[in-house]
């Protein structure tokens, strides 16, 4: 019976990429956690006794890589290869493989295969008996803005063993593809035409399966660097039989997880002290429902929106910082708390402003008249409006009034927010 090819698929480690946080202490802890997370990845490969680790691009961030980080990374890779695990890595847009760039000059360990050119290269993975077990074919990017579609150059698998393709690329219809620069852009139908059993992809940081047959996966980034990458991060453990579909399971590895807490029901919150309690309770509720590591640490963003009586007390940025520090100090697992309050508004009593001699009073008066005056409504609306009926006037008026629903309150909130900045 042919042995199962077992491997771990990761991508977008981005060693030494800056973390987006204003907290200096958090940045240092995040840098430490990045190294710890990579060490955990190595531990996973060894404990699962996989045959290979596949790194689908952006192992590090080019010239930003510190010497001590390079030494750590190479030591961890050597720990893997000393355990008999083959490592195959292809270059991405952040660690391109053109001659003379950093990746091409590193002292990679034995059993480590660096693929840094457009020409696909095959690496044969051997089983314990020395016989070929699987074939990995990869191509690499040579520059930071490499646009060439590299899929077309991939050959069809050369042997009977299960074949895996590896590439750092933008699959154009992947979720979140628009959040990254397009590199080596390709389509899912092009992946399907090549005859590989599994596509190990990198570049898009959202974990997802982009194709069923053959299986094509983005593992997501190994760890997060900003609040655009919330949720669990890690790698994929893949078991690929000689025939049949691969079994893919996600392994959360990131020591630090970034999450956003959104709160918009704050109409009864009177002061910052009460707001701190509301946030703490909501955060405890959110965290309890998240599938997280037992030793998880967190970067938390709190997004406050809507009407809140405590808005005036939070107008001073120092008050926001005090609130964030209070929340941070109350939870040892929080590395930093960021509070977004730009969309927080004071409670609005429209009756206080209607008829008053200022811009808000005039705007409210016009909106009130538009509720009954068809001529005024017609003057306010453009002649061509997307979705607006072009038939009977009554239909057009009803449509326009539906658009204006609650506009008076939204207008008041916007104008009052500008006045109190």
Per-residue confidence (pLDDT) for residue 1, from 0 to 100: 45
DSSP 2: P
Distance between CA atoms of 168 and 90, rounded to whole angstroms?
A: 7
193: its two tokens: 């035409």
Cβ–Cβ < 8 Å for 45, 53: yes
74: its two tokens: 């190479």
- Which residue intervals of 178-234 are DSSP H helices? 188-192
Strand partners, 216: 199, 211
Radius of gyration of the chain (CA): 27
- 396 cis-preceded (ω within 30 degrees of 0): no
5: its two tokens: 């090819």
Distance between CA atoms of 42 and 40, rounded to whole angstroms?
A: 5
Per-residue confidence (pLDDT) for residue 59, from 0 to 100: 96
Per-residue confidence (pLDDT) for residue 353, from 0 to 100: 67
Per-residue confidence (pLDDT) for residue 255, from 0 to 100: 97
pLDDT digit string (tens) for the chain, length 421 residues: 458 999 999 999 999 999 988 788 899 999 999 999 999 999 999 999 999 999 999 999 887 899 999 999 999 999 999 999 999 999 999 999 998 888 888 999 999 999 999 999 999 999 988 999 999 999 999 999 999 999 999 999 988 999 999 999 999 989 998 889 999 999 999 999 999 999 999 999 999 999 999 999 999 999 999 999 999 999 999 999 998 899 999 999 999 999 999 999 999 999 999 999 999 999 999 999 898 888 899 999 999 998 899 998 998 889 999 999 999 999 999 999 999 998 898 887 667 667 778 777 787 788 788 888 888 877 877 777 777 777 677 888 888 788 777 676 677 667 766 554 4
- pTM reported for the whole predicted model: 0.84
Residue 99, number of CB atoms within 10 A of its CB? 9
Per-residue confidence (pLDDT) for residue 418, from 0 to 100: 56
DSSP 126: E
Strand partners, 60: 15
3-class SS shares of the chain: helix, strand, coil, % to 5? 35, 25, 45
3-state secondary structure of 278: helix
Distance between CA atoms of 158 and 53, rounded to whole angstroms?
A: 21
């Amino acid at each position: 019976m042919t042995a199962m090819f077992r491997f771990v698929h990761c991508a977008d480690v981005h060693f030494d990429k800056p973390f987006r946080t204003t907290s200096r202490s958090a940045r240092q802890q995040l840098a430490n956690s990045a190294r710890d997370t990579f060490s955990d990845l190595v531990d996973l490969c060894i404990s699962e006794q996989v045959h290979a680790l596949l790194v689908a691009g952006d192992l590090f961030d080019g010239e930003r890589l510190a010497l001590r980080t390079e030494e750590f990374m190479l030591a961890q890779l050597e720990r893997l290869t000393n355990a008999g695990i083959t490592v195959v890595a292809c270059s991405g847009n952040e660690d391109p493989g053109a001659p003379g760039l950093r990746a091409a000059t590193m002292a990679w360990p034995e059993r480590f295969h660096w693929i840094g050119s457009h020409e696909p290269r095959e690496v044969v993975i051997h089983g314990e008996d020395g016989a070929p077990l699987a074939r990995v074919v990869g191509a690499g990017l040579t520059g930071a803005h490499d646009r060439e579609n590299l899929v077309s150059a991939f050959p069809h698998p050369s042997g009977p063993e299960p074949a895996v393709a590896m590439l750092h690329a933008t699959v154009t219809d992947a979720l979140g593809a628009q959040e990254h620069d397009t590199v080596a852009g390709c389509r899912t139908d092009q992946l399907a035409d090549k005859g590989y059993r599994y596509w190990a992809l990198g570049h898009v940081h959202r974990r997802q399966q982009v194709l069923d047959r053959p299986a094509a996966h983005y593992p997501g980034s190994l760890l997060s660097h900003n609040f655009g990458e919330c949720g669990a991060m890690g790698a994929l453990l893949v078991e690929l039989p000689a025939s049949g579909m691969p079994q893919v399971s996600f392994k959360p590895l990131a020591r630090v997880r970034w999450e956003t807490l959104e709160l918009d029901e704050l109409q009864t919150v009177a002061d910052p002290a009460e707001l701190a309690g509301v946030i703490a309770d909501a955060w405890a509720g959110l965290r309890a429902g998240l599938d997280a590591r037992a030793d998880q640490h967190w970067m938390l963003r709190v997004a406050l929106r809507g009407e809140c009586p405590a808005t005036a007390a939070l107008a001073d940025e120092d008050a926001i910082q005090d609130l964030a520090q209070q929340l941070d100090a109350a939870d040892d697992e929080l590395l930093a708390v960021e509070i977004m309050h730009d969309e927080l508004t004071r409670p609005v009593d429209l009756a206080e402003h209607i008829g008053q001699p200022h811009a808000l009073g005039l705007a409210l008066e016009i909106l009130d008249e538009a509720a009954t005056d068809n001529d005024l409504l017609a003057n306010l609306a453009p002649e061509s409006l997307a979705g607006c009926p072009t038939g009977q006037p009554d239909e057009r008026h009803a449509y326009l009034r539906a658009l204006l629903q609650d506009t008076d309150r939204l207008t008041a909130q916007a104008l009052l927010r500008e006045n109190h900045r």
